[in-house]
């Protein structure tokens, strides 16, 4: 399983195909109306023989793009293709009723043109890629977690890299599964554990490891609202330290592993340490959605499912996902 984000996988595939001598085009969803299947910024690469990776619609738009590029109907270095303008076209292309999207299509000529972006992503950097729609010129510059996709008359700007930060407290078995899932969702993942016997054998490509004390790790790495903190050690001395600091941050999600009973004990300890009731209301515990999870991999799915729901603005009815954990 790839531990890279979908965007990085698409770019790496594009680089590989260019080095193999293939013609390629990069397609990006630039704008959507109505019930479009894929959000803006969705990415796909297609090569001259029709092989492709990624998606821009989940339907027949991909087939149309592949056919156009394979038949060399896309002659310009850069352009915007409008799909779903009419009801007939939307139906033919498999778009939902009222759906419409505009797709930016770029012909990429050399692997070197992708290397600066791939290098930045390999270092976990957050990068904005701005494309001029008139000249095809591409500019890269540092981005922040607050930067978003921008489509203007002259330019399209897409942010690559981890706009969301995940801090996991504890370098145990469960943490590895949580980190793997988070990487595929394009999080910048940091695992914190001051216990050297845990971190010495803990290694996962793309994950930053720190032996800071948990509260120091929170202060260092949780700096904006697009942050998630999950405590997984089962050691109150470590988990509570992280939670005390995390509940004072603007992070979007703070969660703690444990049963319903251990969660009540944790909340009382935090009250005794001065945490207010409004702060405690931000704590998700037991962490994760109730999906009947038992194994570490299943519990990791439950945790990241709840985090994803919160991130997407869904309201969660509080039920324990991992009471037995």
For 71-102, how does the pLDDT look when each residue is reduced to its tens digit (9 = 90+)? 988 878 999 999 876 555 555 555 555 568 89
Same domain (yes/no): 149, 223 = no
Instruction: With respect to residue 138, please indicate whether it lies within any of the assigned structural domains.
Output: yes
pLDDT at 323: 44
Domain count, the chain: 2
Instruction: With respect to residue 26, please indicate whether it lies within any of the assigned structural domains.
Output: yes
Whether the link from the prior residue into 286 is cis, omega within 30° of 0, is yes
Q: Cα(153)–Cα(121) distance, rounded to whole angstroms?
A: 27
Tell which of 98, 132, 160 closes a domain. Answer: 160
- How many CB atoms within 10 Å of residue 305? 17
DSSP state of 226: S
pLDDT at 288: 93
Tell which of 160, 188, 217 closes a domain. Answer: 160
Spell out the residues 6+ positions from residue 161 whose beta carbon is closer than 8 angstroms to its own: 120, 121, 124, 125, 126, 127, 143, 186, 188
State yes or no: pLDDT of 227 exceeds 80: yes
Computed over every residue of the chain, the mean pLDDT equals 89
Instruction: With respect to residue 208, please indicate whether it lies within any of the assigned structural domains.
Output: yes
Q: Cα(246)–Cα(253) distance, rounded to whole angstroms?
A: 9
φ, ψ dihedrals at 27, nearest 5°: -115, 135
- DSSP structure string for 91-151: HHTTPPTT-EEEEEEEEE--GGGGHHHHHHHHTT--EEEEEETTT--EEEEE--TT---EE
pLDDT at 325: 43
Quote the percentage of the chain above a pLDDT of 90: 69
Same domain (yes/no): 54, 72 = yes
Instruction: With respect to residue 323, please indicate whether it lies within any of the assigned structural domains.
Output: no
Three-point CA angle 171, 176, 180, nearest 5°:
140
Report pLDDT digits (tens) over 250-309. 999 999 999 889 999 999 999 999 999 999 999 999 999 999 999 999 999 999 999 999
Report pLDDT digits (tens) over 14-25. 999 999 999 999
Same domain (yes/no): 88, 151 = yes
Same domain (yes/no): 46, 187 = no
């Amino acid at each position: 399983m790839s531990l890279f984000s979908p965007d990085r996988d698409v770019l790496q595939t594009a680089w590989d195909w260019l080095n193999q001598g293939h013609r390629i085009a990069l397609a990006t969803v630039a704008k959507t109306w109505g019930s479009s299947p894929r959000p803006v910024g969705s990415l796909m690469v297609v090569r001259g023989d029709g092989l492709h990776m990624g998606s821009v619609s989940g339907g027949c738009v991909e087939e149309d793009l592949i056919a156009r590029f394979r038949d060399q109907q896309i002659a310009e270095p850069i352009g915007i293709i409008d799909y779903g303008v009419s009801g007939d076209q939307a139906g033919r292309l498999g778009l939902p009723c009222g759906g419409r999207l505009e797709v930016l299509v770029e012909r990429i000529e050399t692997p070197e043109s992708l290397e600066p972006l791939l290098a930045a992503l390999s270092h976990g950097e957050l990068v904005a890629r701005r494309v001029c729609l008139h000249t095809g010129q591409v500019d890269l510059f540092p981005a922040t977690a607050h930067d978003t996709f921008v489509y203007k008359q002259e330019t399209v700007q897409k942010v690559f890299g981890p706009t969301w930060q995940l801090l996991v407290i504890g370098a145990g078995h469960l943490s590895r599964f949580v980190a793997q899932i988070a990487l595929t969702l394009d999080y910048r993942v940091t695992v914190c554990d001051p216990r050297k016997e845990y971190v010495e054998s803990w290694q996962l490509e793309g994950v930053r490891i720190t032996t800071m004390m948990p509260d120091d790790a929170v202060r260092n790495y949780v700096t904006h609202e697009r942050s998630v903190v999950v405590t997984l050690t089962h050691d109150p001395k470590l988990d509570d330290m992280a939670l005390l600091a995390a509940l004072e941050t603007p992070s979007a999600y703070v969660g703690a592993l444990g049963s319903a009973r251990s969660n009540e004990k944790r909340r009382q300890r935090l009250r005794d340490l001065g945490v207010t009731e409004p702060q405690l209301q931000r704590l998700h515990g037991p962490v994760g959605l109730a999906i009947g999870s038992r194994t570490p991999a299943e519990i990791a799915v439950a945790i990241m499912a709840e985090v994803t729901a919160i991130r997407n603005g869904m309201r969660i009815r509080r039920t324990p996902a991992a009471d037995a954990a």
